[in-house]
Amino acid sequence: MADVRPFRALRYDSQVVGGLDNIVSPPFDTISADLQRSLYGRSPYNVVRLEGGERLPTDSGEDNRYTRAAAAMERWSQEGVLVRDSAPAFYLMRHSFSVRGKRAERRELMAAVRLEEYDRRVVLPHEYTRDEDKRDRLALMKACRTNISPIMSLYSDVEGRVAAVLARVMASPPADSFSDPGRQEYAQWRVDGPEDITAIREALESRPLYIADGHHRYETALNYRRESGAGAPEAASEFVMMGLIEFSDPGLLVLPYHRVVSGLAADTLERVRARLGETFDSSPYAASGVDSTAAFQAEVERLGADGLAMGLLEPGDAGYSSLTLSGGVDAEGWGLLGGSEAWVLEDLVLKPILGESLERCLSYVHDGEEVVDRVRSGEAQMGFFLKPFPLDLFKEIMDRGERLPSKSTFFYPKLPTGIVMNPLEGWV
pLDDT in tens, 249-283: 999 999 999 999 999 999 999 999 999 999 999 99
Confidence of residue 288 (pLDDT cuts 50, 70, 90): confident
Q: What is the pLDDT of residues 341-357, one digit of tens each?
A: 999 999 999 999 999 99
Contacts for 44 with CB less than 8 Å, ≥ 6 apart? none
Overall pTM surpassing 0.85 (yes/no): yes
pLDDT at 58 over 80: yes
DSSP conformational letter for 421: B
Q: What is the pLDDT of residues 378-398, one digit of tens each?
A: 999 999 999 999 999 999 999
| pLDDT value of position 229 | 77
**pLDDT given for residue 133 in this prediction:** 95
Nearest residue to 28 (alpha-carbon basis) of 425, 414, 420: 414
Task: Report the chain's mean pLDDT, rounded to a whole number.
Answer: 96
Collapse the DSSP code of 306 into the 3-class scheme (helix H, G, I; strand E, B; otherwise coil) and give the result. Answer: coil
Q: Is the pLDDT confidence value at 83 over 80? A: yes
Contact indicator for 285, 299 with CB cutoff of 8 Å: yes
Note the pLDDT of residue 289. 67
Where along the chain do its domains lie? 4-252+413-423, 257-387
What are the CA-CA distances from residue 260 to residues 55, 346, 347, 373 (Å)?
Answer: 27, 12, 15, 11
Residue 231 pLDDT > 90, yes or no?
Answer: no
- pLDDT of 230 strictly over 80: no
Q: Would you place residue 1 in the very low, low, confident or very high pLDDT band (cuts 50, 70, 90)?
A: confident
Distances (CA, A) of 340 to 63, 126, 216, 256, 345: 44, 12, 22, 12, 9
**Helices and strands (DSSP H and E) totals, the chain:** 15, 21
The CATH topology of domain 4-252+413-423 is 3.90.1530
Task: Give tens-digit pLDDT for 296-337.
Answer: 999 999 999 989 999 999 998 888 999 999 988 988 889 999
Contacts (Cβ under 8 Å, ≥6 apart) of 390: 254, 339
Q: Which CATH number among 3.30.1760, 2.20.200, 2.40.10, 1.10.3470 corresponds to the domain 257-387? A: 3.30.1760
Inter-residue contact 287 to 314 (CB < 8 Å): no
**Binning pLDDT at 50, 70 and 90, where does residue 185 land?**
very high
The pLDDT of residue 295 is: 93
Q: Given this model, what pLDDT does residue 319 score?
A: 87
More confident residue, 426 or 220: 220
Taking the C-alpha atoms of residue 324 and residue 327, their distance in angstroms, rounded to an integer, is 9
The predicted model gives 209-221 an average pLDDT of: 98
Spell 389-423 as b/e; 16+ CB within 10 A means b.
Answer: bebeebbebbeeeebbbbbbbbbbbbbbbbbbbbb
